[in-house]
Structure 1
């Protein structure tokens, strides 16, 4: 089974500072104490087992916010090592609310494998789910600096909750020249009500109506720690129904989702769910869409 994995995290605890791993705790996502160990390309290769991982996209791993470019510098050095030469693309960290954001974007863009930026946006009324405590999507200065991404040829990984999807869709319409990629299947966290399901379903369709938005089917185990193929199936199929097989892509979210299952089991679950799709649709979901969206055909952006 061949895949391009567009959502992986590497970290080296001896060489770099990751505040969330310095004093890890537990949350709805799982027990971060079990993640307090290095995770490097060799570890992913070992976890992959019989899955043929063709290419890997690294998404920023909440590295020291005082020096986000250092993470990109390190990742580029891993890529240059050639064995196996991962990551093939880097989604770097930047705070677009910072007055010096353009300087950070320019520094990231100087590295050959940089393709995009992620700034986590998750805000929620329930403190259990709130990541940032601030509505960046409603901040005028943040939205204005979002336009800088196009200047540097950078995409944006969009990590948010369904309650934020209407604001995100408006942002996507304002910036049709920026590719946005929804993370973790839209992070449907309010699963205890019909209204919560409708907010996720309808929010996906608001985003999917924007041609410059794609989505990663990933991170489902963070909300379903005892997942099965059948428990994942409705979320996978609803997402593909919204975005179509041409704008959705499967991803592992390793090593975070490693807390709840093996790499092989996760990818085989995805394959089982879409077994009835055409060969072309499966190739798009597992390989081609990630290659296109993250421009994995070469070093040029």
Structure 2
């Protein structure tokens, strides 16, 4: 099966700084101490090539929470990999990191956009009242300067990878409506974290549909095993199908989230689970979910 992987990460601890890997700990997504090692393009290829019945034809790198003091260094490094013979042309697309609240953000966006493989920006927005789940402790979408700077993405033809929780989806839908010419891609199926109640399920389900009502919003079905460490095909099935049902096969795409999801399974195992869940889909629907949507939305 040929696939396009629209969400993977690389890091080189010898040459770059990643604050979250400086002193990693255990959180709801697993033991980050197991990730404190270089994960280079050769390591990614080792994982993908080991899945002998899969062929990764293109891939999109999403920022790996690189040093916020020098986010462009990550893009420069990734472009060099893509341009080298060892990179096989990957990453074909780069989603770079940027703090849209920063005074110098336009210069950062312009620098990212100067690299030919740059396609978008991600700034993690996850806020949660439980410190276990809180990433940033700050409601960026409620800040006037952040929202003004968000408009710069259109100027530089950049999409926005939207990483948030269901409780933030109403605000995100408003942001998407305010910026109809900017493509949004929801990360990790909306990160349904509050799974112990009907209220939590409804917040996620209804939030997905609020976002899906915006024609410029798509979704990546990925990262589910961060919340389900003992996962099975059947435990993933309702989340995969609910997400696809919300966005339709035209705006959903599968992704690996490697090497983070590697903590809970192999590359082949994960993609085989996705394939099993949509086994009864038509060939055109499978082409869209596994390849075509990622190519179109990320322009690769």
| TM-score higher than 0.5 | yes
Partner of 2:199: 195
Establish whether residue 25 from structure 1 lines up as the match of residue 25 from structure 2: yes
Q: Which of residues 80, 95, 112 in structure 1 aligns to 2:99?
A: 95
Establish whether residue 81 from structure 1 lines up as the match of residue 84 from structure 2: yes
Partner of 2:10: 10
Separation in 2, partners of 1:41, 1:73: 15
Shift of residue 82, structure 1, vs aligned partner: 3.1
Separation in 2, partners of 1:161, 1:137: 13
Separation in 1, partners of 2:297, 2:138: 28
After TM superposition, list the pairs within 5 Å mapping 1:245-264 onto structure 2. 245-264=249-268
Report the secondary structure of 1:280's partner residue. helix
Structure 1 residues 14-67: Cα deviation after superposition (integer angstroms, max 9, x where no partner): 010111111111100110110011111111111112120011100000111100
Q: Which of residues 119, 122, 125 in structure 2 aligns to 1:121?
A: 125
Separation in 1, partners of 2:268, 2:188: 18
Structure 1 residues 190-222: Cα deviation after superposition (integer angstroms, max 9, x where no partner): 000000000000000000000000000000010
User: Which runs of 4 or more aligned residues in structure 1 lie more than 6 Å from their structure 2 counterparts after TM superposition?
Assistant: none
Structure 1 residues 157-198: Cα deviation after superposition (integer angstroms, max 9, x where no partner): 000000000000000000000000000000000000000000
Establish whether residue 265 from structure 1 lines up as the match of residue 283 from structure 2: no
Separation in 1, partners of 2:215, 2:89: 31
Partner of 1:182: 186
Aligned residues: 296
Normalised to the residue count of structure 1, the TM-score between the two structures is: 0.98
Report the secondary structure of 2:85's partner residue. coil
Consecutive unaligned residues in structure 2, runs of 5 or more: none
Consecutive unaligned residues in structure 1, runs of 5 or more: 297-301
Separation in 1, partners of 2:145, 2:66: 24
RMSD between aligned residues = 0.6
